[in-house]
Chain A
């Protein structure tokens, strides 16, 4: 976009800057094209293809502007990262705004990769690979999104990776064995409660870096190595027993990783690629080469494009699923006519749940009666149950969702409606209270609060 609107003068200035930095014309072009391609790709994969999914992500999350929410979140392993990620996730209520923030975070991550690994110019396209894997961790999701057990999941991966790279940058400033050993231990001990497993990944990265240093003597290596390995094993255990007493050991070592089921092993792909990329970038720190031939530059660009393609192909491309989400969003805003229109558009890519929404909208518009059988979507069974007047079933669904994944906006909304419609005013007030302290659901909550007060 920037290129299209650039006048000759601007391009000239950029070339001058590139020359001053010792970049060739090809290098400037590759940088420009990489950045453009990355931005366009992220926009396509998020706001264009998945805007309803992004909206759904914030419905499955909760960020309340209260002290109790902060303290409750900080009491969890990786609490700070959860809190920050959840804060940003709320902006997906307006998918374009959330996407904008998401892109900024991804760009910051790629910039940090350049700094953290002192990436050479010809490897510039590689700096986007961690951001692309973070993107894949989001786009690969389908119904699993409702069962991740990680608050603010979309932003956890990029922010977590940024935190661990920041720690790595800091670690590289230390050159003596003692200072490195102390830092490794201190990093794991202090960072783990705040960023969970990403602290352990950071420690691992630092260890690999230490081992890979060629000039280091064996003695200078084994002490940090021992300290790092001990920290990785002992710090989570210490936290489990002292700070986060009672958590399961398995959960201690996987804090902030999603809870994918056994059959969903393929969903770990972004995490594997991310780990390999970060480890593979370590040798680049040793390289003294400041520039390379155009062939090498082109090769790295081609590799970047290949990963781009992989991210696209591995992303969830279930169109029926996205149609379902679009229809759910229309149903949530009680726009039954739009739901029917979406149903018409989704004639090819349909599933049982889109059919269910179609039936519901027809019922609401008075075109048909109640269907004999209702198919409940894993995402919005509560919505359909509520609209058909099956309040107890809706309450049961929400309670079970809250039990397995914690409270979120979707669950709180329908529990409020269930409690209000069954005359449990005090309970409805309890459920609506956290929503009153949100940014985007406050209006809805205040309206409900008025109705609850009126019914008391």
Chain B
């Protein structure tokens, strides 16, 4: 009975010594993370991986840490993140992994300010530094969640499709469902759009599926003649709401998108008989009482351009319409000509989002709920696999340089042989509704 009493102080001493040792170790380690004061400038170019982080990128203050790797050769690496206010973040190593807590503190206390990342490298015992990489911290946040499909890239006709939700403020990711049925491009072709207030979905119905030609980049790909936008109730079984049928069979209509108030339906419409004939951007009024759409107003006529304007997405404030302009048909998934454009609905002017576009495919643009951020897909990294990019859309309607969706390990995308498709930026991912929506649309497609 007396032995434990004797042992207690010994254990206490041992624990105290252990804590002291740990503290000494931490102190020693943190002392090593001092930024070199005697570093010299280097004429070399900084090789950041991913490349899209380099050069005046605008980031939301609530985004996950922009971890990156340094591609330049050196024996030691130190990266220092500084801004106007707050304590700088110092990270050691070639693979820059930033503390989520420190990153958040720094960004939140510097909304609207610039953030600088200075990389120091040690070569032959001498420290050098690269010109600082500048990030602009936007005062506008981005929604917390990003929901997307992870599928085979365009070109593979089979395989499973995963529905994934990702927290944008961290790296938390969860697979919501695995769909082995149907190909991703078909789901996208259906392009379902849920009405903001009524239990109605608008989708594209393509009476006769035409084979999609992935092998020939220049080949026209399009919905067949007779493709039209249909409305269906999401309550109960597949229950199509009859609409007025267009007397001209050559007319094709696709890519529905609702206005925020649900009073208008934006879409793409082609009148020519050829498969490669261009799609115009149109808008139809929607009458909630009769659940019917009215006659179309043409917003952009692409006849002279010999291109197609597809996948319209109205900004939350209703002022801008994002869309893709592509040659030959209406599938912007793999045509390199596909670029992002924006239409100012107040004056009818439209322009290319040049700073966001690349020489490769740029597609599937979507808005954040505050209308300040655009998330879109691009194949610019390797020409085949679609990755998601985020770009700032300021109050003047100007888009800024985009950056790739941050990953805990920046090489994640290099090792991933899947494409990101159908992104949606949401504040609360309603898993059940999305799952139901996907299975519903796939069933709907099968039944057609």
Contacts and interface: CB of A to CB of B under 8 A. Distances in A.
Interface of A: 66, 68, 72, 245-248, 392-393, 395-396, 399-400, 402-404, 407, 419, 424, 426-427, 429-430, 433-434
Nearest to B153: A399
Contacts of B414: 430, 433
Contact of A68 (B176, B384, B409): B409
Contact of B178 (A247, A393, A430, A434): A247
Contact of B215 (A393, A403, A407): A393
A399 B152 CA distance: 8
B389 to A, nearest CB: 16
B383 A424 contact: yes
A246 B417 contact: no
A246 B178 contact: yes
Contact of B177 (A66, A246, A407, A419): A246
Contacts of B383: 424, 426-427
Interface of B: 152-153, 155-159, 162-163, 174-178, 180, 214-216, 381-385, 409, 411-412, 414-415, 417
Counting chain A CB atoms within 10 Å of each CB, the highest count among B216, B381, B409, B414 belongs to: B414
Given A403-B157, A426-B381, A246 B409 contact: no
A429 B381 CA distance: 11
A202 B176 CA distance: 30
B152 A245 contact: no
A426 B156 contact: no
Given A68-B411, A68-B415, A246-B175, A402 B381 contact: no
Nearest to A427: B382
B159 A245 contact: no
A245 B176 contact: yes
A239 to B, nearest CB: 13
Nearest to A424: B383
Contact of A403 (B158, B174, B216, B415): B158
B174 A245 contact: yes
A400 B156 CA distance: 5
Nearest to B155: A399
B413 to A, nearest CB: 9
A248 B178 contact: yes
A402 B155 CA distance: 11
19 contacts: A66-B415, A68-B412, A68-B415, A245-B174, A246-B163, A246-B175, A392-B216, A396-B155, A396-B214, A400-B157, A402-B152, A402-B417, A403-B156, A404-B158, A424-B382, A424-B384, A426-B381, A427-B383, A429-B382
A212 B153 CA distance: 53
B180 A403 contact: no
A323 to B, nearest CB: 30
Contacts of B177: 246
Given A72-B415, A400-B158, 13 more contacts: A247-B178, A248-B178, A392-B216, A395-B155, A396-B214, A400-B157, A402-B156, A403-B157, A404-B159, A424-B384, A427-B383, A430-B414, A433-B415
Contacts of A395: 155
Given A68-B409, A424-B383, A399 B178 contact: no
Contacts, number: 62
Nearest to B381: A426
B411 A403 contact: no
A400 B353 CA distance: 34
Nearest to B163: A246
B79 to A, nearest CB: 22
Contacts of B409: 68
A430 B382 contact: yes
A72 B158 CA distance: 21
Contacts of A68: 409, 411-412, 415
A59 B215 CA distance: 26
B416 to A, nearest CB: 9
A403 B178 CA distance: 14
A68 B412 CA distance: 8
Nearest to A433: B414
Contacts of B159: 402-404
A407 B415 CA distance: 11
A246 B178 CA distance: 5
A403 B175 CA distance: 18
Nearest to A75: B175
Contacts of B381: 426
3 closest A-B pairs by beta carbon, nearest first, are: A403-B159, A246-B175, A403-B156
Contacts of B156: 399-400, 402-403
A433 B417 CA distance: 12
Nearest to A412: B417
Contacts of A396: 155, 214-215
Contacts of A429: 382
Counting chain A CB atoms within 10 Å of each CB, the highest count among B177, B383, B411 belongs to: B383
Given A402-B152, A424-B382, A427-B382, A407 B417 contact: yes
Contacts of B214: 396
A395 B159 CA distance: 16
Contacts of A433: 414-415
Contacts of A247: 178
Nearest to A64: B415
Contacts of B157: 400, 403
Contacts of A427: 382-385
Nearest to A428: B382
Nearest to A405: B159
A279 B374 CA distance: 60
A395 B411 CA distance: 24
A411 to B, nearest CB: 9
B397 to A, nearest CB: 32
Nearest to B214: A396
B194 to A, nearest CB: 22
A392 B159 CA distance: 19
Contacts of B180: 248
A272 B376 CA distance: 51
Contacts of A400: 156-158
Nearest to A245: B175
Contact of A426 (B152, B153, B175, B382): B382
A396 B155 CA distance: 6
Contacts of B176: 245-246
